[in-house]
Amino acid sequence: MIYRETGQFKANYQDDQALFPIAQDRYVILVILLITFGLVPALLNEYWLNAILLPFLIYSLAALGLNILTGYCGQLSLGTGAFMAVGAFSVYKLMVAFPGIGFIPMVVLSGVITAAVGTIFGLPSLRIKGFYLAVATLAAQFFLIWLFNKVGWFFNYSATGMINAPPMTIFGAIVTGPKADPIAKYYLVAAFVAVFALAAKNIARGRIGRNWMAIRDMDIAAELIGVRPLIAKLSAFAVSSFYVGMAGALYFAVWLGSAEPTEAFDINQSFLVLFMIIIGGLGSVLGSFLGAAFLVIMPIMLKNLMVDGFGTTSALAEHIQIIVVGVLIIGFLIVEPHGLARLWRIAKEKMRLWPFPY
Amino acid sequence: MNQQSSPETILAVENISLSFGVMKVLDSISFDIRRGEIRSIIGPNGAGKSSMLNVINGFYHPQEGSITFKGETRKQMAPHVAANHGIARTFQNIALFKGMSTLDNIMTGRNLKMKTNLFWQALHIGPARVEELENREAAEKIIDFLGIQAIRKKPVGKLPYGLQKRVELGRALAAEPELLLLDEPMAGMNSEEKEDMCRFVLDVNSEFGTTIALIEHDMGVVMDLSDRVLVLDYGKQLADGVPDEVRNNQDVIDAYLGVPHEH
């Protein structure tokens, strides 16, 4: 097989520490980026962009965020939905109050606001671990959603309690609101995801990422070699919430266009994103994407296949889809509890050795 | 064993008492460690040896007594303060970061040498990149020293026991400590692995000038390596002195060493 590092000698540590030290990986990433930014918008229609790729990319960003916290730092969180809501409501308030600052800074800023909120709700992690922490973050989920329902200031006292994204433009293209251009929306979200996936990968392989993993793997030893649990855990909560908040902002403003807290950001969102990283692979950037793809794209594909291919009614197809996805999740977790990213790693190992078994 | 001409005290422990509830684990222990020496702590199981190390690097907070490290007297130290001031350790039961590679474990040991902020790290350019490369070089020196080049990129959870112990030593050395606490570095090893580990301990001591506090049950190793030996028994200080004194101390023989079997 062509995929192997044989013959690719590293003469210095700089090359050895490159993001993708194996040349074939670099080509694959390049091809993926070319397809993402070149081919996809040219070839696919509005339905694909709006209904499949947008949610996939946005959920990838959210999964990336949760993976930083749960996969890299080992802190279980069930508050993802609420943190997405914080991002969504932040970007809404910013869009309404300061329409002049531009949409991209708004999304980043709502990430920053979510990071602050996430850090506060991360404080219990200094005392409690595992399932107990999950319950503490559950409190964040219920409290924040209650807050967004109850306090009129957050939804500008609209009669329905809904928030609607006003139209915003980037370089002349409308990216939010009902008249938004699907290609512009796609480019915007894809750019966000690409940039922050790279940033996540960089953080994960540097000092901060190693400190997170040290806390995850053996917190006492980490503390005794100078990793401060307070800083490591809260920074993981902050960075994770930053990502989740931006995902929430894009989810509301770019994808949904309007949202109501109890429906759009309920606990099912938290579980959905958690399942994504468990199925995709904990502690893996690639896994976040694979998990999001599995839980966003596959159900839609399955449904389309049944409705268009077998002529089942859409109601029946939806029920069958739920059953099949459930079975697939269980099947995958039995076959490979470490997620799709591990399957990919095993496949790569096999490819390296091919045609020899070991 | 490099006895220095002017034995400066690097660490002095005075009247340390530690109890968990009614259990008295350490009962007014006082001893000192001189710069550059290999200091062993021995004693039967449950004597309080590991607790003593935990007190020194700030993980346990003693109820009484004080610790003077490099001239600064404290009642207790926070673990990161101890690490910052140059105390590193290994653990009795290996406490490596199992999901990470050997290299990453050792690099984590250098986390206190690295300062760049989240922003630079996310971009991985400029100072973050320079810092990462500098520390990689330092980590590679330790990898060379311990002869673990081949397992650099392997996840440590899958390594055999002896190698894991070696990686753990590497992680402690990565911090360039002045005082290295080794908690049973040779436990569970075969004689060949033990010899290797002894060699590493001596080399660390002589090449890097690191002061070493060692807990070990193999008396051959202890008597050969140590400059001075402290004996604990049920939290009490039984004896303290050079290996020969300790070996012939009747209390120590009764409590721990025993007498050779007649053949």
Q: Which residue of A has its CA nearest to B96?
A: A218
**pLDDT one-digit tens code per residue, B201-259:** 999 999 999 999 999 999 999 999 999 999 999 999 999 999 999 988 888 888 888 87
Which residues of chain B make contact with A17, given a CB cutoff of 8 A?
Answer: 132-133, 136
Please say if the pLDDT value at position B2 is more than 60.
no
| Dihedral of alpha carbons B53, B56, B57, B61, sign | positive
Give me the pLDDT at residue B256, please: 84
CA B151 to chain CA mean position, Å:
23
Query: In angstroms, rounded to a whole number, what is the distance separating the alpha carbons of residues B79 and B55?
Result: 10
* Whole-number pLDDT of residue B105: 96
Please give the residue of chain A at the shortest CA–CA distance from B79.
A224
pLDDT(B109) > 60: yes
Give the SS3 label for residue A31: helix
Spatial separation of the C-alpha atoms in residues B153 and A209, rounded to whole Å: 16
Cα–Cα nearest to B217, from B247, B240, B187: B187
Nearest to A214 among B97, B112, B128 (CB): B97
* Share of residues in chain A with pLDDT > 90 (%): 62
Q: Which pLDDT band, with edges at 50, 70 and 90, does A2 fall under?
A: low
- Judging contacts by C-beta atoms under 8 Å, the chain A residues touching residue B137 are 13
pLDDT grade for B26, boundaries at 50, 70 and 90: very high
The predicted model gives B102-126 an average pLDDT of 92
In a domain, A161, yes or no: yes
Domain limits at A210? 32-266
- Whether B168 is covered by a domain: the verdict is no
ipTM: 0.90
Q: Is there a domain that residue B190 lies in?
A: yes
Question: Are the Cβ atoms of B172 and A208 closer than 8 angstroms?
Answer: no
The region that residue B15 occupies, defined by phi over 0 for left and psi between -120 and 50 for alpha, beta otherwise, is left
Question: B210: domain CATH number?
Answer: 3.40.50.300
Please report, for residues A250, B38, B66, B236, B239, the alpha-carbon distance to residue B15 in angstroms, rounded to integers and kept in the order given: 61, 22, 7, 11, 15
Q: Enumerate the H helices of chain B as residue ranges.
A: 49-56, 79-84, 102-109, 118-123, 126-146, 161-174, 191-207, 219-225, 243-248, 250-252
- CB contact under 8 Å between A218 and B98, yes or no, is yes
Share of chain A above pLDDT 70, in %: 98
Q: Say if residue A5's pLDDT is above 50.
A: yes
Domain annotation covers residue A9: no
Note whether residue B162 is domain-resident. Answer: no
Tokens of B253: 């023989």
Strands B72-74 and B64-69: antiparallel
Instruction: Judge whether A11 is closer than 8 Å to chain B, CB to CB.
Output: no
Whether residue A202 and residue B121 make contact (CB cut-off 8 A), yes or no, is yes
CA distance A177 to chain B (A): 32
Selected residues 17-46 of chain B with any CB under 8 Å from a CB in chain A: none
Residue B131 lies in a domain: no
How many domains are contained in chain A? 1
- What number is the average pLDDT over the span A198-218? 95
Instruction: Test B121 with A14 for CB contact under 8 angstroms.
Output: no
User: Over 80: is that where the pLDDT of A288 sits?
Assistant: yes
The secondary structure of A211-231 as a DSSP string is: HHHHHHH-HHHHHHTT--HHH
| Residue A343, φ and ψ in degrees, nearest 5 | -55, -40
B3 pLDDT tier (thresholds 50, 70, 90): very low
Q: How many structural domains comprise chain B?
A: 1
Q: Is residue A319 part of a domain?
A: no
Q: What is the C-alpha to C-alpha distance for residues A249 and A247, in angstroms, rounded to an integer?
A: 5
pLDDT digits (tens, 9 = 90+) for A17-42: 888 888 888 888 999 999 989 888 88
Per-residue pLDDT, B1: 44
- Asked, for residue A324, whether it belongs to a domain, the answer is no
CA A284 to chain centre: 12
Band the pLDDT of B263: cuts 50, 70, 90: low
How much of chain B, in percent, has pLDDT values that exceed 90?
72
Instruction: Kindly determine whether residue A226 and residue B111, on different chains, have CB atoms separated by under 8 Å.
Output: yes
Optimal mutation site among B76, B80, B133, interface A, most CBs of chain A within 10 A: B80
Chain B's closest residue to A210, CA to CA, is B108
Strand partners, B104: none
Closest residue by Cα to residue A287 from A95, A114, A67: A67
Question: Residue type at A82?
Answer: A
CA–CA–CA angle B187, B100, B153 (5° rounding):
95
Residue A240 belongs to some domain of the structure: yes
* Residue B3 resides in a domain: no
Most distant CA pair in chain B: distance in Å?
Answer: 70
List, for residues B111-122, the tens digit of each pLDDT value.
999 988 999 999
> Does B98 sit within 8 Å of A19, measured CB to CB?
no
Distance CA B185, CA B198 (A): 9
Q: pTM here?
A: 0.91
pLDDT tens for A252-286 read 999 999 999 988 999 999 999 999 999 999 999 99
Q: Which residues of B touch A228 (CB under 8 A)?
A: 80
C-alpha of A45 from chain center: 24
What separation in angstroms does the CA of A139 have from each of A63, A79, A122, A134, B129? Answer: 20, 8, 11, 9, 40
Range of the domain at B19: 9-86+177-257
Type of residue numbered A55? P
Residues A327-341 have pLDDT tens digits of: 988 888 888 888 889
Q: Let me know: does B178 contact B124? Beta carbons within 8 Å.
A: no
pLDDT tens-digit readout, A224-252: 999 999 999 999 999 999 999 999 999 99
Distance CA A343, CA A27 (A): 20
Cβ neighbours of B164 in A, within 8 Å = none
CB contact set of A285 (below 8 Å; sequence gap of 6+): A64, A67, A197, A200, A201, A204
